[in-house]
Amino acid sequence: MKPFRFRATVNGRPVDLPVDPRRRLLDVLREDLGLTGTKEGCGEGECGACTVLLDGRPVNACLVLAPEAAGCDITTIEGVAVEGRLHPIQEAFLEAGAVQCGYCTPGMILAAKALLDKDPRPTDQAIKTAVSGNLCRCTGYVKIVKAVRLAAARLAREEGAV
């Protein structure tokens, strides 16, 4: 099959590469770009481990064909920390004990980021809804919700300080 010219912005950097149009965004990120922080847990849209942001919206990268993401602004877990400084959501996940095996963590953090970017003061219900497409088999969800709440509070304080 004729390769498709995949042009997009990934973590703030332009990418331009030929890809087989039948491939999933997940494979392009992991195999072609080496961004292995995005995980595959099921390959069928059930677990959320492959969550990335497409123009700020959380999607399952295992269900997105690469051409569908062309032209988008894509954020993966590798693009969340800025210049080696952890994002407040990442800090909050560590502090709240919301990370155990860590396999769900990249997807969880991106789902949380999508929420907090548009709703800086979410209710617990909104947090639960935001991570409802992400499975965690180790931690349980109490600490994950707590981490997102903690991150929201931190971000609000940072905002206030500016």
Partner 1 sequence: MTGQADGKMPAVSSVIGRSCPRVDGADKVTGSALFAADRRMEGMLYARVLRSTVPHAVLRRIDAEAARAVPGVAAVYTAADIPGENRVGIIVKDEPVLVDDRIRRVGDPLALVVAGNEQALAAAMSEIEVFYEELPAVFSPEEAMAGGAPAIHGQGNIQSVTRIVRGDVDSALKEARAVISRRYTTQMVEHAYLEPEAGLAAVVDGLVTIWVSTQNPHYDRREVARVLGIGQNRVRVVQSPTGGGFGGKLDISVQCLLGLAAWKTGRPVRMVYSREESMAASPKRHPCVIDYTSACDGDGRLLAVKVKIVGDTGAYASYGPATLKRAAVHATGPYEVPNVFIESYCVYTNNPTAGAMRGFGVPQVAFAHESQMDLLAGALGLDPFTIRLRNCFRPGGVTATGQRLLHSVGIKETIDRARAKAEELGMLEGKR
Residues that bind partner 1 (CB under 8 A): 30, 35-44, 47, 49, 76-78, 80-81, 86, 90, 93-94, 97, 99-106, 109, 135-138
Task: Spell 117-131 as b/e; 16+ CB within 10 A means b.
Answer: eeeeebeeeebeebb
Q: Rounded to whole angstroms, what are the CA distances from 82 to 18, 90, 113?
A: 28, 11, 14
Which of partner 1, ligand FES, none binds 37 (CB below 5-8 Å, type-dependent)?
A: partner 1
Q: What is the 3-state secondary structure (H, E, C) of 124-155?
A: HHHHHHHCCCCCCCCCCCHHHHHHHHHHHHHH
Q: Which does 35 bind (CB under 5 to 8 A by kind): partner 1, ligand FES, none?
A: partner 1
Q: Largest Cα–Cα distance of the chain, in whole Å?
A: 54
- CB of 92 vs ligand FES, minimal distance in Å: 15
Contact pick of 138, 142, 157, 158 for ligand FES (by CB under 6 A): 138
**21: contact with ligand FES by CB under 6 A:** no
Spatial distance between the Cα atoms of 93 and 11, rounded to a whole number of angstroms: 21
Per-residue string for binding with ligand FES, 60-79, x by CB under 6 A?
A: x-x-----------------
- List, in order, residues 6 or more apart from 106 with CB less than 8 Å away: 37, 38, 39, 49, 51, 76, 77
CB of 50 to ligand FES, least distance (A): 3
Give the one residue of 20, 36, 43, 65 binding ligand FES; rule: CB under 6 A: 43
Report, in Å, the least distance between residue 30 CB and partner 1. 8
Cβ closest to partner 1, residue 68 vs residue 78: 78
